[in-house]
């Protein structure tokens, strides 16, 4: 691994394949510009490191098994995040079951079967892109209205949260799946059709299996985003003192981000430490999930 020093001198000397090099790179303005660029990178990464260090330092007093096994309590010395951990697991699992098949199906339709020049299908594409950028709290309002319309009284149930999160990450899964489907070369499809397969058989037996790594990567990344969301669940009334394990999709629940929010809002320092420790736990979970996604992509991705 080359050193940082060689990276810096490389930037000045211009070992980048395109352009650069020569006396012009050592003029003061150019050097200052380079310093500014390095600075912006360092500031961004520095803030990230500060954030991680701060929460580890603040939460270190609370890293114990109690975090995993105990329930929230009125005193920080006895409190733990067990319902939040299980609640997050329940909600993410339910979300995955609801949204991944739907997202893959929609992407397959849009990519393989729909006539792309049709104005309606282009509208659907535009719609999906727009939905991916809608604020997450609006999805909470949507789920709230939908559940109210169905007459559901207590909206703080696993299926309610899963509904909001599913709709939130559906566009992301559709976009990622479409990218994965696009990366499969058309020769594969043509070969399959030439051998007499129908379009669906081609998709099901040739295209989808080849696209599975990309789809899996995209889905895991989308689910990791859902894991970190709190705003839509707040609107559904998730901020409740929950002292039990969730036990069904109609059960009450809380999630890790909601628990962090709850504890952050309390004035006692002990709860802030708990919030920090839980944040570390959440970050570790996310790193594991993202690492898994990247591992799948690197290991199984086909080079055509």
Cα 66 to Cα 15, 62, 71, 81: the distances in Å are: 53, 8, 9, 8
Could you tell me the two tokens for 145? 């209205």
Could you tell me the two tokens for 187? 């020769």
Please state the closest distance from residue 57 (CB atom) to another protein, in A: 10
Quote the CA–CA distance of 159 and 239 in Å, as a whole number. Answer: 16
Which residues have C-beta within 8 Å of that of residue 238, sequence separation ≥ 6?
A: 156, 161, 230, 253, 254, 255, 258
Q: In degrees to the nearest 10, what's the CA dihedral of 211, 212, 215, 221?
A: -140
Please state the closest distance from residue 179 (CB atom) to another protein, in A: 14
Q: What is the largest CA-CA distance in the chain?
A: 74
Nearer to another protein, 180 or 235 (CB): 235
Please state the closest distance from residue 39 (CB atom) to another protein, in A: 7
Please state the closest distance from residue 274 (CB atom) to another protein, in A: 11
Cα 216 to Cα 36, 221, 228, 275, 296: the distances in Å are: 39, 9, 19, 31, 8
Q: Which of 258, 262, 198 is nearest to 233 (CA)?
A: 258
Nearer to another protein, 60 or 148 (CB): 148
Please state the closest distance from residue 15 (CB atom) to another protein, in A: 6
Please state the closest distance from residue 36 (CB atom) to another protein, in A: 6
Could you tell me the two tokens for 15? 């070992």
Quote the CA–CA distance of 276 and 286 in Å, as a whole number. Answer: 15
Nearer to another protein, 64 or 123 (CB): 123
Nearer to another protein, 64 or 156 (CB): 156
Cα 225 to Cα 136, 170, 197: the distances in Å are: 11, 11, 38
Cα 98 to Cα 84, 105, 181, 219: the distances in Å are: 21, 12, 21, 12
Nearer to another protein, 60 or 209 (CB): 209
Nearer to another protein, 49 or 64 (CB): 49
Please state the closest distance from residue 67 (CB atom) to another protein, in A: 15
Nearer to another protein, 66 or 189 (CB): 189
Please state the closest distance from residue 90 (CB atom) to another protein, in A: 6
Q: Which of 240, 215, 195, 230 is nearest to 293 (CA)?
A: 215
Nearer to another protein, 64 or 248 (CB): 248
């Amino acid at each position: 691994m080359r050193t940082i020093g060689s990276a810096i001198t490389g930037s000045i000397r211009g070992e980048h394949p395109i352009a650069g090099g020569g006396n012009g790179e050592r003029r003061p303005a150019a050097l200052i510009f380079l310093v500014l660029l390095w600075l912006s990178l360092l500031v961004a990464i520095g803030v990230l490191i500060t954030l991680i260090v701060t929460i580890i330092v603040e939460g270190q007093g609370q890293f114990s098994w109690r975090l995993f096994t105990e329930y929230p309590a009125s005193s920080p010395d006895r409190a733990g995040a067990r319902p939040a951990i299980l609640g997050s697991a329940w909600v993410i699992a339910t979300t995955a079951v609801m949204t991944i098949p739907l997202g893959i199906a929609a992407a397959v339709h849009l990519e393989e079967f729909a006539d792309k020049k049709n104005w309606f299908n282009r509208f659907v594409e535009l719609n999906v892109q727009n939905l991916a950028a809608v604020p997450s709290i609006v999805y909470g309002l949507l789920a709230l209205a939908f559940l109210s319309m169905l007459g559901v009284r207590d909206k703080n149930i696993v299926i309610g949260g899963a509904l909001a999160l599913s709709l939130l990450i559906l566009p992301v899964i559709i976009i990622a799946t479409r990218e994965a489907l696009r990366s499969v070369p058309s020769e594969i499809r043509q070969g399959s059709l030439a051998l007499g397969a129908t379009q669906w058989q081609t998709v099901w037996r040739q295209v989808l299996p080849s696209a599975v790594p990309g789809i899996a990567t995209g889905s895991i990344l989308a689910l990791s985003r859902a894991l970190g969301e709190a705003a839509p669940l707040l609107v559904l009334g998730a901020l409740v003192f929950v002292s039990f394990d969730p036990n069904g999709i109609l059960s009450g629940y809380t999630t890790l981000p909601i628990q962090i929010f709850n504890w952050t809002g309390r004035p006692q320092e002990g709860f802030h430490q708990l919030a920090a420790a839980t944040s570390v736990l959440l970050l570790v979970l996310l790193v594991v999930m993202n690492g898994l996604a990247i591992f799948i992509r690197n290991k199984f991705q086909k080079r055509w």
